[in-house]
Structure 1
Amino acid sequence: MTAPIRVLIVEDEPLTAEAHTAYVSRLEGFAVIDTVGTGRAMLAAVAAERPDLVLLDLNLPDAHGLQLVRTLRAAGSAVDVVAVTAAHDVQAVRNAIALGVVQYLVKPFSFRSFADRMTSYREFRRGFEDRRALTQADIDERLGTLRPVAPADHEKGIAPETLEVVRDALLQRSDGGSASEVAEATGLSRVTVRRYLEHLAAAGQVAKDVRHRGQGRPEYEYRWLR
């Protein structure tokens, strides 16, 4: 039986760290070995516990995540790193790729997005087991595992990952929710959330009704069609 991939979670927000731990625990082939909240603790944990994978928040109170990766590489560590961050500017992404970060997850994200990337990483890693050499076709296949091609047929202006975040938030509300309520749950703007909810309604996945509560202005309520 293949040993689980040992994961170190580096996140300074306790609730987010708990959520990431729960996400990892739901995946086959992974095990969380520790959770730390600072760059200094992360470097110490990598040296002492030798994880296979670091799930790394780039914005830590005492260091930037990419600088920590540079420190690890300078020390000879080849530990794999998945970046988890709200930063999505071009330079941050380019720097992460240059440092060998194997996956890059932009917050907020759904469990499905997380699972897709972690599963791709697991298959990538397993592709090197019991092999002493790789052909060009083998190398291409393994790199392709890390960089799956995204569907090209999604509606213009509708990002699949944001759609998953909105969908997951609505699924958690058995009695439905308004655009404002879903926006509060996801951290997205109300305007953005309403656009995605309208997209789901037009696709026949969500029911849209007028909600009358109190004397205020009525609002639309969206409910997942189960």
Structure 2
Amino acid sequence: MKNNLGFIVLLISGMAQLCFAQTHAAELKKSCIKSYPQAKNDTDSTIIDLYQQLCDKTARKNMHLQQQLSTQIAKRYVEVGDHLKALNLIEQLHQQNYIHQNLTDLKFLAGIGISSQSLEQMRSTEVRALNDFTYPQAKSLTEHIYLAQPVAKFSESASTTARNSKVKNTKNKPNNPVKQSLSQNKNKVSKSNLKNNTAAISNKKTESISTRTHTPSTNPFGSLNNN
């Protein structure tokens, strides 16, 4: 019994020390918060650890390291959904003339996150749709995203469109080739009969004209010529 009690006491003591260590590690120095006010009230352990590295003496003497750490913090802000802090940090980096594709991507993702949150508030809380002012902007953004999609996705989309068009054209074609063949044969027979009838009528007219041409004329002075 005493052994069990001692084990429980040690376990509780160890857990208390662990919690204290985590709490202590999660705290930032006042000087660090003064240098980076946006870090105030942050509770994410990853963000706090990055700020601690940023406030370290080594980073203070290395501008490139500061920019890399700030980029990682902005990325973490986007991941946890704190998009405004991410945008503020990205703007600070831009003011330092630090331009990078990663920052552009993070800025885009943060903007999309803010737009999604606002749209969710419109539909769920305010129960309304986009208006004449906001819808054209959203539509324009959608079109730009479509044009900027990766090449593989764009090719896949084009293939899908071509495949759908081919299926549509196939549906519009006659489904009974035998019926189509019979119809074509019927048209050929009709044209042949019409051609034969036309030729017969033409021959008949020719014969009639020829007969009228060779018939002897009844000349009233013919008997005088014989005399």
Normalising TM by the smaller chain, what interval?
under 0.3
The TM-score, its normalising length taken from structure 1, stands at 0.25
**What is the TM-score with the length of structure 2 in the denominator?**
0.25
Give the number of the structure with larger relative contact order, counting CA–CA contacts within 8 Å between residues 6 or more apart: 1
Normalized per residue, the structure richer in strand is 1
Q: Per residue, is there more helix in 1 or in 2?
A: 2
